[in-house]
Amino acid sequence: MTVLSIQNVSCVYPAAGKAESVHALKNITLDIDSGEFVVALGASGCGKSTLLNMIAGFIAPTEGEITLKGQAVTGPGADRSVVFQKHALLPWLNVLDNVAFGLKIQKKGRAERERIARQFIQLLGLEKFEKSAVYMLSGGMQQRVGIARALTCDPEILLMDEPLGALDALTRERAQELILKIWNDTRKVIFLITHSVEEALFMGTKLIVMSPRPGRVSHVFDLPFSKRYLETGDARAVKASADFIALRERVLELILVDDEGTGHE
């Protein structure tokens, strides 16, 4: 079943001051089915965040339409949760209250808030830190708190914009595995943006490779690797397998072509 449908979506940021208008996305069409894990990969500036922000309802398409379960997306909603690279936790609250915060906004009572929050605290392996102040936690643990919070409102789709970009290599690998287990347990649709080809191939069931100026989807690949990891539990073996390496090199070539000569933002 199609959960999210992106139909011929374009985005032009209008000219402002001395800056010219930017054609950030052109004719994006993509259907995302229930249970899918879609990963968007591409050079800096190819419109990945713009696309995610449109799905989230933070910005409206200039042309085209996005529908969630048949309903047009016209603004943010509890059916879509966003996890950013830099967590947006409330430093004066402990882990439990941070995870429960969205439920408080939804005006749920304390007992129910804490019951739901504890389910996700457990899912993310944070039980021992329930009462800890979030600023005391490592970056990887803070990101886990952010993911737990995003899940509490039971969204149809979890949107993640480079959620692991700030983590060191080892923590990042553990976090990839944890997110895959959560995806497998909750069967949520996930849309994740990353700069890392290896991360994209390892995590997604579907990879969209984007190209810049104007931002568009240049290639789509179905991926077998996350399933293989969930069956075997051996992430290194999956990442070292011949078909993984072959596809990694192929996709790297695709995005390196786009990255030539473009500065970083």
Ligand X SMILES: Nc1ncnc2c1ncn2[C@@H]1O[C@H](COP(=O)(O)OP(=O)(O)O)[C@@H](O)[C@H]1O
> Applying CB under 6 A, does 13 fall inside the site for ligand X?
yes
Stretch that binds Mg ion, among 47-55, 118-126, 138-146, 204-212 (CB under 5 A): 47-55
Q: What letter represents residue 12's amino acid? A: V
Provide the 8-state DSSP code for 23: E
State which H helix or E strand residue 101 sits in.
helix 101-105
Count Cβ neighbours within 10 Å for each residue of 42-53 and write b for 16 or more, e otherwise: bbebbbbbbbbb
Nearer to ligand X, 114 or 258 (CB): 258
Return d(Cα 160, Cα 166) in angstroms, integer.
13
Residue 212 CB, shortest distance to ligand X, in Å, is: 7
- Residue from the set 44, 62, 186, 196 that interacts with ligand X by CB under 6 A: 44
Return d(Cα 261, Cα 256) in angstroms, integer.
10
> Applying CB under 5 A, does 50 fall inside the site for Mg ion?
no
Return d(Cα 184, Cα 259) in angstroms, integer.
33
Which of Mg ion, ligand X, none sits in contact with 13, Cβ below 5 to 8 A by type?
ligand X
> Applying CB under 6 A, does 22 fall inside the site for ligand X?
yes
> Applying CB under 5 A, does 49 fall inside the site for Mg ion?
yes
Return d(Cα 45, Cα 13) in angstroms, integer.
13
Nearer to Mg ion, 50 or 81 (CB): 50
> Applying CB under 6 A, does 49 fall inside the site for ligand X?
yes
Residues that bind Mg ion (CB under 5 A): 49
Residues lying near ligand X in the complex (CB under 6 A): 13, 22, 24, 42, 44-50, 215
